[in-house]
Amino acid sequence: MELWFSERHTQNVKFSIRVERQLYSGQSEFQRIDVFDSREFGRFLTLDGYLMLTEKDEFIYHEMMTHVPMAVHPDPRKILVIGGGDGGVIRELTRYEKIERIDMVEIDPLVVEVSKKYLPQTACRLEDPRVHIYYEDGLRFIRSVHEEYDLIIVDCSDPGGPGEGLFTKEFYGSCYKALKDDGIMVNQHESPFYEEDAMTMQRVHKRIVGSFPISRVYQVHVPTFPAGHWLFGFASKKYHPVRDLDAVKWNMFGLSTRYYTTQLHAGAFALPYYVEEMLKHVE
Amino acid sequence: MSLSQERAPVYEALEEFRRMRVVPFDVPGHKRGRGNKELREFLGEKCVSLDVNSMKPLDNLCHPVSVIREAEELAAEAFGASHAFLMVGGTTSAVQSMVLTACKRGDKIILPRNVHRSVINALVLCGAVPVYVNPDVDHQLGIALGMKVSQVEQAIKENPDAVAVLVNNPTYYGICSDIKSIIALAHAHGMMVLADEAHGTHFYFGDNLPAAAMKAGADMAAVSMHKSGGSLTQSSLLLTGPEVNPGYVSQIINLTQTTSGSYLLLSSLDISRRNLALHGRETFCQVVELAEYARAEINAIGGYYAYSRELVNGDSIYDFDVTKLSVYTLEIGLAGIEVYDLLRDEYDIQIEFGDIGNILAYLSIGDRRQDIERLASALAEIKRLYQKSRNGMMSQEYISPQVVVTPQDAFYARKESLPLKETAGRVCSEFVMCYPPGIPILAPGERITDKILDYIVYAREKGCSMTGPEDEKIEALNVLL
């Protein structure tokens, strides 16, 4: 018997993983949630049929989303994570002792519940006493927040799902307002490769550039995402992502990582020429 | 009446017709879309294949005897009317048919001046004489309100020969007059009551919403199914009461309505009526809940005022339609039209309209909570980024018109075109309005004053989309010789 999970990456491109068995399937108020087990990628989570993470390659995404801003900001104590119900970003953040408080705003309680039960690899640190979970629309949560956070990490699904509001100008503007005067925002920035993803990527960049004085993009390689080539946004009120990187200090923390290094940190901001052009086009 | 509200006769007949695969040697010439590939691809095969002509199994809108007639009977029942007409020329055509049924040349009709242009257009067509009731005005918000019962009584006393009273139920902003008392008063004096319910379809189905005109005893009502009712743009209903002769109304409608009624529009009316009859109550409960939530969130931002039932004063604001999300913006130093433009240009959010002091977001059957979050956040951001001093902002105001000649006489009179600035004191022969909301600043036959000219210039500067005059740029106006 062969059982395959397939996701359309475009109208004409499909990506498939052979499934050993389905561990969970359910419908929340917001989306359909599924967890599968596979030989190649271990367990993986999908929302409305779109792959969110696999056990095998999630470290790339979560390390790069977390350690890049953590190595730039000199003293991040209060962090906001928007989305991220699988707990991967939280797991990385809780490795830093100096962080005092992490607020996580996830719209869908069922994603957290399912992750805790079936994805302990990422959801393992959601019980950390510094973590406070709010089940709310991120856009609503941030509307009334002023100069509270040192770092905001936006770890959401693609626009089209319940995360649609997290790709808007009003959201990025609200994040600016919710950050302290040296705050940093890192966000899921889609992919530059396929046309439709690339258009979203450009729109997102345009909106962030309009809201933050410093706005740079960096790249990662996530094998199970469309094209395998994914971008993150680094938007900041004060710190430059490469010039203000304090490599010595970060390495002193002694955190062991599998993807992130301070050398890769600088390299990740060097983008392919065509991506540079796309970004420049909307700046 | 034998059919149940679960039925949708026009829709069912079209489904049946599709299965028959009838060979078309009739119009429309695109022949189920085969003759227009681009259109077929754009609108979808199913859609173009249902764009068909009147024929025996599908009935005929001009003279309905089978499925359209049944659909009209079901609509009448659902809305509590004696008769319902499916309309395909927009609520404009329903309003005009209503006025043309009630009035002949020279007849007087009592109406508030803050009517939609379609009402005064009807007066141009039939030559009736308007007797305006100047609506009360909320001076803070700058919006015209409903008619006070005492004002209507006064107008009736001064014009005992008037044949009808027209009521907005509600206004674009959601304000309702005391329609029950107005109906009792008008009927006691032998006058008909016509209701413009372009913005009130949901009154017939919701709980705790203002009174629906036909249920309150009105003689005719024009109901925009395509606004809050969920049908396709341009489809509408005309409802009549027991005292109105449906045969005569049908003749009036056929004076101006197309003989090629679109089955896309007709089926959308049929399906939407069924939906409203079966699920309207719970749907509008949700819409009200969403609107209340949106108001609370917008008012929490500070600076904006999303108003509601607290305005009710028992007379000129007898009731308020809580599904309308009207927001006063002048306190943050921005005209409504400026906020409207910013929402669209900067935040990709299209709202219904912005005027000098307010914006209106239209909430209905299809809205989602997450979109309300976007609207509230965008308004918060607009305040943070664009707020300025209120100095120099004009308040919107209602300017009482001076009617000199009837709309029809003015429209057809000998006239000349003058530069805007030189028209003060003259009688205008055309409309000037911001669209939306489409309530005339000047109507044919009204005297032009300096105050009106200042208002036109200011509204144009702020970016209101002005329409009406022959001169599209509104640099010149036609005035009577």
Separation between Cα atoms, residue B285 and residue B273, nearest integer Å: 17
Domain boundaries, chain A: 4-54, 58-282
A109-144: pLDDT as tens digits: 999 999 999 999 999 999 999 999 999 999 999 999
Q: Kindly tell me if the per-residue pLDDT of B339 is higher than 60.
A: yes
Whether the CB-CB separation of A8 and A46 falls below 8 Å is answered with no
Smallest CA–CA distance, residue B41 to chain A, in Å, is 17
Q: Which of B348, B377, B385 sits opposite A139 (nearest CB)?
A: B377
Average pLDDT over residues A142-170: 93
What pLDDT score was predicted for residue B393?
A: 79
| A86 belongs to an annotated ligand binding site | yes
What pLDDT score was predicted for residue B394?
A: 76
What pLDDT score was predicted for residue A1?
A: 87
Query: In angstroms, what CA-CA distances link B264 with B45, B50, B51, B87, B198?
Result: 13, 7, 6, 12, 20
What mean pLDDT is reported for chain B?
94
Average pLDDT over residues B420-439: 88
| pLDDT > 90 fraction of chain B, expressed in percent and rounded | 83
CB within 8 Å: A143 and B376: yes
Starting at the earlier edge strand, list the strands of the sheet with A78-83.
A131-135, A101-106, A78-83, A149-155, A179-188, A229-236, A214-221
Give this complex's ipTM.
Answer: 0.91
Nearest CA in chain A to B298: A143
Specify the 3-state DSSP secondary structure of A103. Answer: strand
| A37 belongs to an annotated ligand binding site | no
Q: Which domains does chain B have, with CATH numbers?
A: 62-276 (3.40.640.10), 278-386 (3.90.1150.10), 407-480 (3.90.100.10)
Hunting for tokens 């809305």 — which residue is that?
B79
Identify residues of B whose CB sits under 8 angstroms from chain A CBs. Answer: 297, 300-301, 346-348, 369-370, 373-374, 376-378, 380-381, 384-385
Average pLDDT over residues B10-18: 95
Q: How far is CA A20 from the centre of its chain?
A: 27
pTM as predicted? 0.91
Phi then psi for B348, rounded to 5 degrees? 55, 40
What pLDDT score was predicted for residue B40?
A: 96
Token pair listed for B434: 């911001």
B207-264: pLDDT as tens digits: 899 999 999 999 999 999 999 999 999 999 999 999 999 999 999 999 999 999 999 9
Separation between Cα atoms, residue B360 and residue B383, nearest integer Å: 17
CB within 8 Å: B377 and A162: no
Whether the CB-CB separation of A212 and A236 falls below 8 Å is answered with yes
CB within 8 Å: B380 and A169: no
Hunting for tokens 């950050």 — which residue is that?
A179
Separation between Cα atoms, residue B168 and residue B115, nearest integer Å: 7
What pLDDT score was predicted for residue A34?
A: 98
Write out the CATH class of domain A4-54.
mainly beta
Q: Which residues from A are below 8 Å from B369, CB to CB?
A: 137
Whether the CB-CB separation of A30 and A162 falls below 8 Å is answered with yes
Q: Kindly tell me if the per-residue pLDDT of A78 is higher than 80.
A: yes
* Residue B337 burial by Cβ neighbours in a 10 Å radius (0-12, 13-18, 19+): buried
Q: What is the CATH T-level fold of the domain A58-282, as seen in this structure?
A: Rossmann fold (3.40.50)
| pLDDT > 70 fraction of chain A, expressed in percent and rounded | 100
| A138 belongs to an annotated ligand binding site | yes
What pLDDT score was predicted for residue B142?
A: 84
Whether the CB-CB separation of A129 and A106 falls below 8 Å is answered with no
What pLDDT score was predicted for residue A172?
A: 97
B26-65: pLDDT as tens digits: 999 999 999 999 999 999 999 999 999 999 999 999 999 9
Q: Kindly tell me if the per-residue pLDDT of B114 is higher than 70.
A: yes
Phi then psi for A135, rounded to 5 degrees? -90, 95
Instruction: Provide the pLDDT confidence category of residue B468 given band limits of 50, 70 and 90.
Output: confident
Q: Which residues pair with B24 in a beta bridge?
A: none
Q: Which of A143, A164, A169 sits opposite B370 (nearest CB)?
A: A164
